[in-house]
Structure 1
Amino acid sequence: MCEANAYLIEGSETQLIMESVDTVEPDENGISLVSIFGEQKFLKARIRSMALVDHKIYLEKLE
């Protein structure tokens, strides 16, 4: 399995936003996430880092 979990970092807090993310699509206004189950979310955020061996995507909220 190659999917990852997406986390949103706000200050010192890290919150799980979506599990089993299959698709990450950047947009000028943020990030679109789609899970293997078809769940979709759009966040006004940018990719802060990705730890693919650990299956984690860290996002940072845009102002």
Structure 2
Amino acid sequence: MSRRQKAEGRRQKAEGRRKKAEGRDKRHKGQLHKCQVSAAKCQLSAVRYELSTLEKLKTQN
């Protein structure tokens, strides 16, 4: 499994956790759950990784 595939998998997993948490959030308005925070952090790290790889590709060209 390549790093890109792993990052994509983490991003999808985080997306699923976020959607699940959104359903819970409707019952508890305005409160962030731990899983929402971890999902957001996970998505952020995946996006950062993608951005860094794009930057590397840009500097190579």
TM-score (norm 1): 0.23
Higher relative contact order (CA 8 A, sep 6+): 2
| Structure showing the higher helix proportion among its residues | 2
User: Larger Cα Rg: Structure 1 or Structure 2?
Assistant: 2
Return the structure number with greater strand share.
1
TM-score of the pair, normalised by structure 2:
0.24
